[in-house]
Structure 1
């Protein structure tokens, strides 16, 4: 049965327009509901980041007042801390790969992804036959504090499982790489050095690590200093608010890996602050993996901005880019073009590099 048509054609148009209007109205009404549902689903998917983000921002303050929300450095399994003694590592010695996340991250960045963005831990365990362990730590603490905690954790791992833990490989993203380097310093300069895990260390992978500091934190510090110098009520307030960022973030300014540097009275100097040189551990291959948003390396933009969060110049680092390194230093650098800071965690080429050089 056809719709009646007026001589002008209006009758035929009205039902069609009404139906279109009704459909549009229903969609408009449903948008807020769909939006809330999307936000809820997204929040559920990423809820594990809430605590790490809080710790990255003010984790030092949480730890100082013994707040239950302060993360304790630990190995992680099934989304929970696990004591070293409860890892129950058995069997013949296996290459053991230990992953460390960056600022405000957690162990899930190495494990969960989509079919298009596979994560390195499960892939390496399945395809390379290695054992993968994941560490979570309070990224708001000083890098040196986490470095000391990591060397203790690795020492405990090797002491409890001397047979099961074979060659040790450390993989760090962003701040995690600095924590690894700090652990190497304390593992060779501590009261019981060298720590037992040092002799098992086969290689170190540094993914997007600000080895010479973060330009973002350097700019934040400079802004805070300038606001303080203006010295009027609004600028003093802003400077004080900015200075509430965690010790871990502040250490990123110049990649301070040793406690004596941030304890120095000149630690906050804008020019030439104290900084202890922490060279690569002798005889250990260091693989410095650098991201670049650009197609080609070598430009000033590549050097300064790099992967968007870590400049390529800082990632390579003076100590790793030294044209005349110590004779026992083994440093290998690879730049991944058109690759963001977060993208280094799920790049097939980066994964292939890891697998080939374990």
Structure 2
């Protein structure tokens, strides 16, 4: 006599309710652990960004209290600060390209990428036969402070390695471009001007640089002023909290490049704040590379929003768009359509432009 077969899908072939409940409970209990593990792994993968972000936000405060987390401007090699005297610059004199990152960035933005999004530093070194150096700086400090530090750093480079640097090329993204322009000012107006690096300067590339200021910081400042004017406890608290942003961020409001602008008693004026005009260095080609989220560069939206973080009107800048610039001024402007602020760092067309005009 044969035993009756068990119907397909019968409960005998399925785990009991208790087993299913236990498995679900174990999965639920493991979720916080998995989440913490994910956060830890992500933190490890992107830990090189943590310190630059902190410095961009409150780096001036860290520097004021001599906190060891405050970044010191330095050349970087193999993920570490390198003194100028310890830079490894083998071989003959070469065109040397110095890269500067933007607010809350670091030197890795010029070096690490994917096959689809190559970064300019390694490509130029391999394909253009140049030497690439990378600078990390505390982007929470005043732009003019970083400009003076950069001028000193480049002077040290030329003084310590005079036979290694044939010509000098400076490439800056966002705030990094403003630091370069500020260094040019102090390299020609400082107590030992002209600085030796100025004579070696071959060209300057400004990628997505808010040369006339950032609309985001302008709106933040206006909001803070309005909250203070309302003058009740909640708005005073919010305004005070907003005003804790770093001096570097505040300087982006009007692209202040020299000390006397942010030191002025009228620096916080909403209308007609002080702003010293800093023209391009004479005889040096400036390449102003502008990103636009739009397909066309002939709209008010393009002028105001530009690449999403820097307005195209600001990137072009009044001084760069001047129809009657000072004598011996060389300005070349190029707009890259449908290009975001970060996309300017890994765009094949941008790379091709830089390589062609080195």
TM alignment of 1:221-300, pairs within 5 A? 221-300=221-300
Where in structure 2 are there 5+ consecutive unaligned residues? none
Q: Is the 8 A contact 1:4 1:12 kept in 2?
A: no
The aligned residue for residue 10 of structure 2 is: 11
Return the offset for 1:4: 4.6
Deviations 1:306-355 (A, max 9, x none): 11110111001111111222231111111111111111111111111111
CA distance in 1, matches of 2:255, 2:73: 20
What corresponds to 1:51 in structure 2? 51
List runs of 5+ in structure 1 lacking aligned partners. none
1:107 aligns with 2:107: yes
Q: Tell me the equivalent position of 2:84.
A: 84
Task: Give the equivalent residue in structure 2 for 1:161.
Answer: 161
Spell out, residue by residue over 1:85-120, the C-alpha distance to the aligned partner (whole angstroms, 9 max, x if none): 000323221000000000011111111112221111
Instruction: Find the counterpart in structure 1 of residue 175 from structure 2.
Output: 175
**TM value normalised by structure 1:** 0.93
* Aligned-residue offset at 1:13: 11
Equivalent residue, structure 2, for 1:145: 145
How far off is 1:38 after superposition? 3.4
Change (3 A) 1:230 1:17: same
3-state SS of the aligned residue for 2:159? helix
Aligned to 1:320, what secondary structure does the other structure show?
Answer: coil
Residues 117/38 of structure 1: CA separation in 2 closer, same or farther (3 Å cut): farther
Q: Distance in 2 between matches of 1:351 and 1:4?
A: 71
Paired with 1:4 and 1:328, the residues of 2 have a C-alpha distance of 97
Deviation by residue 1:42-69 (Cα, 9 ceiling, x = unmatched):
2111101111111111111111111111
Q: What's 1:131 paired with?
A: 131
How many Å separate the matches in 2 of 1:246 and 1:51? 14
**In the TM superposition, what is the alpha-carbon distance from 1:16 to its structure 2 partner?**
10
The runs of at least 4 aligned residues of structure 1 exceeding 6 Å deviation read 26-30
SS state of the match for residue 223, structure 1?
helix
Find the aligned partners of 1:13 and 1:290 in 2 and give their Cα distance: 68
Q: How many residues align?
A: 353
Q: TM-score, normalised by structure 2?
A: 0.93
Where 1:180 maps in the other structure, the secondary structure is: helix
